[in-house]
Amino acid sequence: MVSTALDAMAGTAWGRWLGLVAAVWVQCISGNNYTFSNYSDSIKTLMGLTQLQLNGLSVAKDVGKAFGLLAGLASDRLPTWLLLAIGSLEGFLGYGAQWLVVSKTIAPLPYWQMCVCLCLGGNSTTWMNTAVLVTCIRNFRGSRGPVSGVLKGYVGLSTAIFTDVCSALFADDPASFLVMLAVVPAAVCAVAMVFLREGRVASADSGGDEADARGFAAISTLAVAIALYLLAADLTGVGGGGGLVSTVFVAVLMVLLAAPAAVPAYVGWTSWMKSRKAANADAEAAAAPLLLDSKEAAASEAAATQLQGNGEAEEGRGPRLGEEHTIAEALSSLDFWVLFSSFLMGVGTGLAVMNNLGQMGVAMGYTDVSLFVSMTSIWGFFGRLASGTISEHFIKYVTHDCSPPLIPVRPPSVVRYGSGIYI
């Protein structure tokens, strides 16, 4: 009964926005793949590793993300809540084991077992990312680019959020940081399992493209405000050091993170007002003619015949850029291989820098590299947010039978099949 009620809620306009907000919260805690520099030096010292061995651990973490293909394949067969449960369980086990080692609760694990733990932690985020991206893109089929940009943008902020909160409350203690990585995502995913569901909203209830655009603009604006808030805290050092100021900093940050919930609340209120006006409608609607004029009926029949003919004509063609693709259709598409090659050759350089940021900071004489990790996360957020909006613009440009754009675009429809390389 409860599940049926939640599924019915997901089919309402405010219900799908509530699901998007839950997805945003999941993304705020699913960027733990980029936080390795915050505790890598502790693992290196505790286990007596060489730099080459430490690089091997970071590779194991990235290999876990490569197995994101499994999450993509499972997204068509498993419900969203189960994808989130798998991701949160993997993260709890992977980061929990690392916490036991760093906190010296247990003796250091053998090297290969640490590789397995980091692989589990790295793979956990692919299940979370796939669950929220696929579900939200299906719920907002006309706004794939903004959905992708907003969700991936919040992933970029998650590293800064974790880093700054740990700095404020736990003075950058690596063991406390790993506890956060193990426990917080599991708790947030538990909430998202309830509200993030796939639902079909009638066009009359969705509010249209303009209403969706306003909602995405509000959530994007809040994301920018969070990014600027974190940036100001990093540059001024207000959030670090503990004490009352740090507590206030974290409290304000939590309020900003909760603020997107105002969007579904507003949508729900407007929907209720519309239904109330409809219930109070006078007899004018009842007095409307029940039969169409003969000319109107003929025009409607002609339009239906034309639509049927267009559908038959397009049955033989493959999906266009921006439409849903099966695995076979994606693999046979040139756009997919351009995307794959771009990520294969381009993403590795950024990951190499982020994985070794801690060692680079130590080599340059910095004892605390959390500032650099946070700044990298914040500036990455702005790029992610812009890419979603720009890609949607060019996808609409292509699918409207215009001449192709001069730069490659990112088809969100293949996200579910390439979550392991979709950064």
User: In this predicted model, what pLDDT tens digit does every residue of 5-52 receive, in sequence order?
Assistant: 666 666 687 888 999 999 999 999 887 777 887 888 889 889 988 888
Q: What was the pLDDT predicted at 411?
A: 38
Q: What was the pLDDT predicted at 315?
A: 56
Contact 376, 354 (CB under 8 A): yes
Q: What was the pLDDT predicted at 421?
A: 36
Structure tokens given for 129: 């990312």
Percent of the chain with pLDDT strictly greater than 90: 23
Q: What was the pLDDT predicted at 86?
A: 95
Q: What was the pLDDT predicted at 85?
A: 95
**How would residue 96 be classed by pLDDT, with cut points 50, 70 and 90?**
very high
Which of 95-109, 169-183, 206-220 is the least confident region?
A: 206-220
User: In CATH, what number is assigned to the domain containing residue 245?
Assistant: 1.20.1250
Residue 270 lies in a domain: no
Q: What was the pLDDT predicted at 333?
A: 83
Q: What was the pLDDT predicted at 289?
A: 56
Residue 237 lies in a domain: yes
Residue 297 lies in a domain: no
Residue 205 lies in a domain: yes
Residue 280 lies in a domain: no
Residue 250 lies in a domain: yes
Residue 309 lies in a domain: no
Q: How many domains does the chain have?
A: 1
CA distance 89 to 404: 43
Q: Which residue has the higher pLDDT, 385 or 191?
A: 191
**63-73 average pLDDT score:** 85
Q: What was the pLDDT predicted at 4?
A: 73
Q: What was the pLDDT predicted at 317?
A: 62
CA distance 349 to 220: 28
CA distance 120 to 114: 10
**How would residue 114 be classed by pLDDT, with cut points 50, 70 and 90?**
very high
Instruction: Report the 3 state secondary structure along 328-342.
Output: HHHHCCHHHHHHHHH
Q: What was the pLDDT predicted at 288?
A: 54
Residue 307 lies in a domain: no
Residue numbers of the domain that contains 10: 2-265+322-417
**106-135 average pLDDT score:** 92
Q: What was the pLDDT predicted at 412?
A: 38
Highest mean pLDDT range out of 38-52, 178-192, 242-256?
178-192
User: In this predicted model, what pLDDT tens digit does every residue of 209-244 receive, in sequence order?
Assistant: 777 888 888 998 998 899 889 888 888 877 666 678
Highest mean pLDDT range out of 80-89, 297-306, 338-347, 369-378?
80-89
CA distance 219 to 147: 10
User: In this predicted model, what pLDDT tens digit does every residue of 280-310 receive, in sequence order?
Assistant: 665 555 555 554 455 555 555 655 565 555 5
Percent of the chain with pLDDT strictly greater than 70: 72
Q: 379 pLDDT exceeds 50? A: yes
Contact 71, 419 (CB under 8 A): yes
Q: What was the pLDDT predicted at 339?
A: 80
Contact 14, 268 (CB under 8 A): yes
